[in-house]
Structure 1
Amino acid sequence: MPSNAKEVQVQLVTEIQDEDRNETMEIQGPGQFFSRGDTQVLTFTEHPEESEPVNTMVTIKPEHVSIKRSGGVEMRQVFQQSMETENLYHHTYGDFHMKTYTEEMDFQSLQESTQGRLYLSYKMTLNHEVTQAHRLTLTFEEESES
């Protein structure tokens, strides 16, 4: 871990909406945040109930955001404002092709405020079939010294 890494508390809220349903998932836990030049990185581990832990690394650069997950699932999803990106999602149930069209990206660094925030609004198409609207809100704040 880099020397400028900070211990943070992470909250990830993902909202998925399609024609007939809304789904909200929330994850909370400890993580680390560090920056190198104009790149900022947030790492944390998800602990799903039905599978092995998933390590998540969110890399934020001025022009794009990358979310890499490894462990119970394998994927690297890239978000670029008003652009479509593609990737494969490797899951225990098989591989899924994903197309992501990023509508909105907003980032507030932990260096600018006491709470960092990443907001992404995007459309995702899974296996060329189902397109859903997604909103991802990732907030993180430095652990208080106690």
Structure 2
Amino acid sequence: MTANDQEVKITLQNEIKRDQEVERYELTVWGQYFKKAGSEFLKYEEAHEEGTVKTILKWKDGYALLLRSGAVSMRLEHRLDETTRGHYEHVYGTIPIAAHTSEINHQTKDNNQHTLKLEYALSMQESFIGTYKMTFSFQEEKA
């Protein structure tokens, strides 16, 4: 952690739609929130059966970058109303992925409660995987 990092409790709600099926899950973790060079960042770690996954989420107007490393490795840029390319790495190799992003929305309420929403259609090796709705909620401590 650096001097600008603020420890926050992050709640991630994820909804994945595939055909007629909807999968939902929620994750609550402690992480860090900070601002740097005009962008905002969230950093956190998740424990998986395969090992720890470190996630960094960076965003600013109409742009978000999702980086994951560790047991799962992924890089995926999001630009509002555009299709962007990235990659997903696992034990069998690297798979190209693409996302068409329909929503990047960050709101801050008076009590320093932040909500960041990402919605995108994900394709892997040119095949549609599903529509992802990710909602990150966290609260800054008042200065």
TM-score scaled by structure 2? 0.90
Residues 143/29 of structure 1: CA separation in 2 closer, same or farther (3 Å cut): farther
Runs of 4 or more, structure 1, over 3 Å off, are none
Distance in 2, Cα, partners of 1:143 & 1:89: 34
Distance in 2 separating the partners of 1:52 and 1:129: 27
SS in 1 for 2:61: coil
More strand by percentage:
2
- Write the distance in 2 (CA, Å) between the matches of 1:85 and 1:51: 28
Amino acid at match of 1:101: H
CA displacement at 1:143 relative to structure 2: 6.1
Task: Give ranges in structure 1 of 5+ residues lacking alignment.
Answer: none
Looking at structure 2, the residues matched to 114 and 21 of structure 1 have their Cα atoms a distance apart, in angstroms, of 35
Q: Can you give the 5+ residue segments of structure 2 that lack an aligned partner in the other structure?
A: none
3-state DSSP of counterpart to 2:50: coil
Alignment of 1:73-92 (within 5 A): 73-92=72-91
Counterparts of 2:60 and 2:20 in 1: how far apart (Å)? 35
SS across alignment from 1:3: coil
Out of 102, 115, 118, the position equivalent to 1:117 is: 115
What does the per-residue CA deviation read over 1:86-136, in whole Å, with 9 as the maximum and x for residues that have no partner? 1110023543221100011101248x6421111011111112123411101
RMSD: 1.9
Number of matched pairs: 142
Which residue of 2 is the match for residue 139 of structure 1? 137
- Counting aligned pairs with the same residue, the percent is 28
Aligned partners of 1:139 and 1:38: how far apart in 2? 20
Q: Report Cα offsets for 1:4-35 as digits up to 9, x if no partner.
A: 21110011111110113111122111000111
Match of 1:6?
Answer: 6
With the length of structure 1 as denominator, give the TM-score of the two structures: 0.88
- Name the aligned partner's letter for residue 9 of structure 1: K
C-alpha separation in 2, matches of 1:96 and 1:109: 35
Q: Hey, what's the Cα distance between the residues in 2 that align with 1:21 and 1:139?
A: 25
